[in-house]
Amino acid sequence: MKDQKLTTQDKFINYRLDTRLARAGNSPGQFHGFINPPVVHASTVLFPDYETMKSRDQKYTYATRGTPTTDALSDALDQLEGSAGTIIVPTGLAAVTVPMLAFAKAGDHCLIVDSIYGPSRTFANSLLHRMGMEIEYFDPHIGAGFGDLLRENTSMVLIEAPGSNTFEMLDVSAIAEASHQVGAVVMMDNTWATPLFFKPLDHGVDISIHALTKYPGGHCDLLLGSVSANERCWNQLLDTQYQLGVCAQGDDCFRVLRGMRTMKLRLQHHEKSALHVAEWLDGQNQVARVLHPALKNDPGHEIWKRDFSGSSGLFAFVLKDASETQVGEFLDALQLFELGYSWGGYTSLAVAVDTSDRTIAKAPQGGRLIRLQIGLEDTADLVEDIEQALRKIRQVEGLGADEV
């Protein structure tokens, strides 16, 4: 339970964000003065005597129920999220599936935004559906019409803002308020913004989901996820994690804690660079549209501006009138942008987006969708790389190399 956790919240909770990022999860006095918590590799935990073992009256009883390393990370995330408790799980996808399993019930109705992360959709359509839940998707542009979808048996609402790959914005507070009127638990995948740029629980969300693989890790070398809950949902979430036995290892927790110390600095660089590249792309004739909520001409800009304090390094654009062959030619021509999944690391990445799994929300028209993760490289080099790749498509089309 919460009061059993190794916590430094009382020490740092009232400090400003930079201080909390630098110090949260640190308890040097408990570890002989070492500034970072130890990496505990464990399964068995020993008890001093039979009575203690029978009563389980000691802080740690078995590694699936936490170690000093996992507790240090969950405590640090509680300070960022403003949550009653945080569980750490092995992957970002597990951060979606564990809370959904925690509150799933046969015969109930679940609403999911149609711009959700693809593997989350697969889980809902397969396992949750087999468990007897009715899954319904809704348009991310639904606005005030969302309330009409709620039923007496709607028990879960899963959202993501901005939407995965297409970056639609949602009025999170309005969705949470409407959902709570029927008692639904609202879960939000907040990986894009991180709790540095948006705090879901402050907007009425019950459970904040984060792929720590991305910006907190930041170096493309780990898989980890976190689920932070309010008081209403914390005990049931924690009990479900215990029952499933889904837990994280100390090495990855340690690396995420270390990554958090520089996360704000890296995010600021990602944000600035991504906006620079997005604004440049917005002026190119071969680009039909740029999907980035921080751009003033984006349909979701006003909601983003009202609720978010920043943006990250991930966005997409529509390559105008591009065929499948031209998409391949463009991606293969890139030199600095690598072709690979995930994001949030120091390397810039590009992928062609497939939205064929959607049921309501349609992909932007006018061409093929390309998603870019802007890393920590020099933006001038990144722009030049995209420019030369676009030029190669023009040459293939038989246009002049200097034609825009």
pLDDT in tens, the chain (404 residues): 344 444 444 566 777 777 777 777 777 667 757 677 888 999 999 999 999 999 988 999 999 999 999 999 999 999 999 999 999 999 999 999 999 999 999 999 999 999 999 999 999 999 999 999 999 999 999 999 999 999 999 999 999 999 999 999 999 999 999 999 999 999 999 999 999 999 999 999 999 999 999 999 999 999 999 999 999 999 999 999 999 999 999 999 999 999 999 999 999 999 999 999 999 999 999 999 999 999 999 999 999 999 999 999 999 999 999 999 999 999 999 999 999 999 999 999 999 999 988 999 887 889 999 999 999 999 999 999 999 999 988 766 554 444 43
CATH entry 3.40.50.300 includes domain 264-396: no
Cis-peptide into 90, omega within 30 deg: no
For 71, 250, 275, 392, the CA distances from 45, given in Å and listed in that order, are: 15, 15, 49, 61
Record the tokens describing residue 151, joined without a space: 């039923």
Fold that domain 2-260 belongs to in CATH: Aspartate Aminotransferase; domain 2 (3.40.640)
Which DSSP letter does residue 3 get?
A: G
Residue 266: CB atoms within 10 A of its CB come to 21
- Which residue spans within 133-234 are E strands per DSSP? 134-138, 154-160, 185-189, 207-211, 225-229
Parallel, antiparallel, or unpaired for β 134-138 and 338-339?
A: unpaired
Residue 106: CB atoms within 10 A of its CB come to 10
Q: Let me know if 296 is exposed, middle or buried by CB neighbors in 10 A (0-12, 13-18, 19+).
A: exposed
Pick the closest to residue 162 from 190, 122, 202 (CA basis): 190
Which DSSP letter does residue 363 get?
A: P
Contact between residue 46 and residue 62 where contact means Cβ atoms under 8 Å apart: no
Q: What's the confidence (pLDDT) of residue 363?
A: 79
Q: What's the confidence (pLDDT) of residue 6?
A: 40
Pick the closest to residue 112 from 369, 359, 345 (CA basis): 359
Q: Name the residue ranges covered by the structural domains of the chain.
A: 2-260, 264-396
CA distance linking residue 87 with residue 238, whole number of Å: 7
- Give the pTM: 0.90
Record the tokens describing residue 291, joined without a space: 């999907």
Pick the closest to residue 212 from 199, 196, 202, 223 (CA basis): 223
CA distance linking residue 38 with residue 263, whole number of Å: 21
Distance between first and last Cα of the chain? 61
Q: What's the confidence (pLDDT) of residue 35?
A: 73
What SS3 state is found at 10? Answer: helix
Residue in the block written with tokens 């992909």: 363
Q: What's the confidence (pLDDT) of residue 69?
A: 94
What SS3 state is found at 11? Answer: helix
